[in-house]
Structure 1
Amino acid sequence: MRVRTMTCGAAVLVGLFSTAAAQQFPTKPLRMVVPAPPGGSSDIIGRLLAEHLQKRLGQTVVTENRPGAGQTIGNAFVAKSEPDGHTLLLVTVSYTTSAAVYAKLPYDPVTDLIGVAMVGAGPLLLTVHPSLPVKSVKQLIALANSRPGSLNFGSAGAGTIPHMAAELFVASARVDMVHVPYKGIAPAVTATVAGEVPVLFASTPASLAMVRANRLRALAVTTAKRSSLLPELPTVAEAGVPGYDVATWWGVLAAGKTPAPIVSRLNDEIRSIVGSDDVKARIAADGAEPVLEMSVERFNALLKEDIAKWRRIVKERNIQAS
């Protein structure tokens, strides 16, 4: 009984300490680590969040770019940082695909980092070259089944989200299509417009101009729900592949053992920031929508679900990083 009482007492003290730490947080300047080079959408969003956090928290928030190795260098840096909430990580959906594609990482993507808040999410577009005789997902599946192994799909490179979205489609629709990787989404879009490859899953910003110019045909969005930005397009799931769901997203993580009250405080602050006009406009420019209501618990469950899904696809489709 005495041991149990002491254990309970220690747990209470830890809880009180964590709550007190959250009330005092932040006690020093913060860092927003972006595991990508300056200038891209992740960098812009990371800097916007840092600017707003600085105003709301009353402490300097410095944006720090740590690109390289499929974004894993920056991820590892934050995973090994002091778990006090003062070092944050701006990630994309690539965080979950990297966890699946790379056999060895210098951190555990499930336990060494914790999800703080999702910032925004949006669909990829399933597009085809206009010469391909299909105008729906069902017609694409039928065509692929009539030509097993002869229909190609492009991607931004092995293990990227356009590649993984296509591989999930191939596995879910049970079709035989061949992957043709390019060095980035821009050359992949150019190749699809030129007719080098007939099928491409691409981000909205990368492909929408070509769709509107009728140089690509959009068949569907990849998310479970239709996009408010493109409400006329069906989802892949409703158009013929039940259960299909792929989103591109941005989120903020922290070191895995960061006290829950601090994580909760940051979640509240970031959700408020995401509702501001300039942040919403930036997210919309990337073809996505702000995520205003996702709890810490739901975000972390989503991270685990996505990592498990991509690991399954990597194993089934024998995918290797380029």
Structure 2
Amino acid sequence: MDRSLPAMNRRTLMSGIALAVATTQVGRGWAADAWPGKTVRIIVPFAPGGGADSSARVLAEVLAPQLGQSVIVENKPGAGSAIGVMAAAQSKDGHTLLMGSNSMVINPVLNPAITYDVARDFDAVGMVSGQPLVLVLPSSSKITSYAELVAEARARPGTLTAGNSGNGTLAHLTAELFALETRTSITSVPYKGESALLPDLIGGLVSFGFLNLPSVIAHVRSGRLRALAVSSPAPVAELANVPTLRSLGQPSLEVQGWAALVAPKGSIPKEGLARLESLLAQALATDTVKTRFAALSLEPVVRGRDATAQLLKAEAARWQQVIKARGIKADS
């Protein structure tokens, strides 16, 4: 500062600088508090229905009044979720979120043509929900326990067929993980979704499968399918008498279908992410969300940004090992 300025002028200049700094700081604080400044969009990379879509729609209703803005859900299905994930990664409007799922981390590992990178292209906000898979087989099957299934797979290599909802899906990779962990040989049979698979599974045309809980619960209760185990850490209320794979000595087969909220990297200010992280945790703890999730066979999962980012990284590494070990390729 020029010390030759009169004392009054120096004081005036200093006051002006202080006011400018204070105004800038207030402006920054206001901008953070103001996020979001317009409608928030949650991209779901699947058609309507299913765990990720249902989770997004429940949260959209609960979060909107807390955020002070409308929250809309936009479905962008295709390419096993890759189209919607890419659309979200490329959105930089600062008000777009993605309801990601297991396929989000599986697809880039399975298909080199998919160029997004979860860690590079997204900021984690938090986990949302979890849903177990159920190991089921036709009620007509002579196999009545997990131990018998493993024994049969070892006695007749390659003859047991594992139906799944498509190449590279969680159902497919879990069956391949089963083969790795039990050192057995099975034949995977892909279908175009669980709805296409279920009639053949019930009819005994395929031997077994790891399917989503909501898809099989009615068939298990009716006796058309037999449930041998669930992949969740603890037994599920809907199938209280069905053991967990962990309790059967297979903790490595503990697999969850999950949904997580993420944002395009750097598109939302840190203060906005922190606010969203907090509001998400609060929403998942409400009776409204718990009740509506339970009706969908979903379990709220509260996990912060850092822990969610770590889980996404761990999931990618886990399925990369399975895909490499089993020589799984993307559909051409």
Partner residue, 1:305? 314
8 Å Cα contact 1:21/1:262 also seen in 2: no
Residues 191-239 of structure 1: CA distance to partner in whole angstroms, max 9, x if unpaired? 1100000111111111111111111111111123332443322211221
Cα distance between partner residues in 2 of 1:81 and 1:268: 23
Conserved 8 A contact 2:217-2:238: no
Residue 205 of structure 1 aligns with which residue? 214
Q: Which residue of 1 aligns with 2:97?
A: 88
Letter in 2 for 1:55: P
- 82, 88, 99: which is aligned to 1:78? 88
State the Cα distance separating 1:45 from its structure 2 match: 2.7
Partner of 2:230: 221
Query: Matched residue pairs, number?
Result: 306
Bigger helix share: 2
Local SS of the residue matching 1:110: helix
Residue deviations 1:87-137 (CA, integer Å, cap 9, x gap):
111122221222322222232122201221211112100011223332222
Post-superposition CA distance 1:140-196 (Å, at most 9, x none): 111110111111110011111111111111111111000011111012121110000
- Same amino acid, percent of matched pairs: 36
Question: Does structure 2 retain, via aligned residues, the 8 Å contact 1:123–1:223?
Answer: yes
Note if 1:180 corresponds to 2:189: yes
Matched, 1:38 2:38: no
User: In the alignment, residue 137 of structure 2 is paired with which amino acid?
Assistant: V
- Alpha-carbon offset, residue 246 of structure 1: 0.5
Whether contact under 8 Å (2:128, 2:300) holds in the other structure is yes
Q: Work out whether 1:110 is the aligned partner of 2:146.
A: no
> Does 1:58 find its partner at 2:68?
yes
TM-score, structure 1 as length reference: 0.88
Is the aligned partner of 1:151 residue 2:174?
no
- Of residues 270, 275, 284 in structure 1, which corresponds to 2:285? 275
Partner AA of 1:34 in structure 2: V
1:35, distance to aligned residue in structure 2 (A)? 1.3
One-letter amino acid of the counterpart of residue 47, structure 1: R
1:261 aligns with 2:248: no
Taking structure 2 as the reference length, the TM-score comes to 0.85
Cα distance in structure 2, aligned partners of 1:250 and 1:265 = 19
Q: Distance in 2 between matches of 1:101 and 1:38?
A: 24
Specify whether residues 288 and 48 from structure 1 end up closer, same or farther in structure 2 by C-alpha distance, changes over 3 A only. closer
The alpha carbon displacement at 1:19 in A equals: 6.5
CA contact (8 A) 1:18 1:260 kept: no
Letter in 2 for 1:207: V
RMSD, aligned CA: 2.2
Distance 1:39 1:148, change over 3 A: closer
Q: 1:243: Cα distance to partner?
A: 2.5
- Structure 2 unaligned blocks of 5 or more: 1-24
Query: Larger radius of gyration, structure 1 or 2?
Result: 2
Other-structure match for 1:195: 204
In structure 1, the residue corresponding to 2:118 is in which secondary structure? coil
Q: Which residue of 1 aligns with 2:143?
A: 134
Distance (whole Å) between structure 1 residues aligned to residue 148 and residue 299 of structure 2: 29
Q: Against the structure 1 CA distance between its residues 169 and 20, is the aligned structure 2 distance closer, same or farther, given a 3 Å change threshold?
A: farther
Match of 1:240 in 2: 249
Q: Distance in 2 between matches of 1:288 and 1:43?
A: 12
* Contact 2:146–2:228 (Cα < 8 Å) also in 1: yes
Question: How far off is 1:41 after superposition?
Answer: 4.3
What amino acid does structure 2 have at the position aligned with 1:268? S
Indicate how the Cα distance of structure 1 residues 19 and 305 shifts in structure 2: closer, same or farther if over 3 A, else same: farther
CA distance in 2, matches of 1:123, 1:16: 47
SS at match of 2:119: coil
Counterpart pick for 2:169 among 153, 160, 164: 160
Structure 1 stretches lacking a partner, 5+ long: 1-14
Which stretch shifts more, 282-291 or 34-43?
A: 34-43
- 2:260 equivalent to 1:251: yes
Q: Which moved more, 1:60-69 or 1:19-28?
A: 19-28
Q: Distance in 2 between matches of 1:62 and 1:289?
A: 22
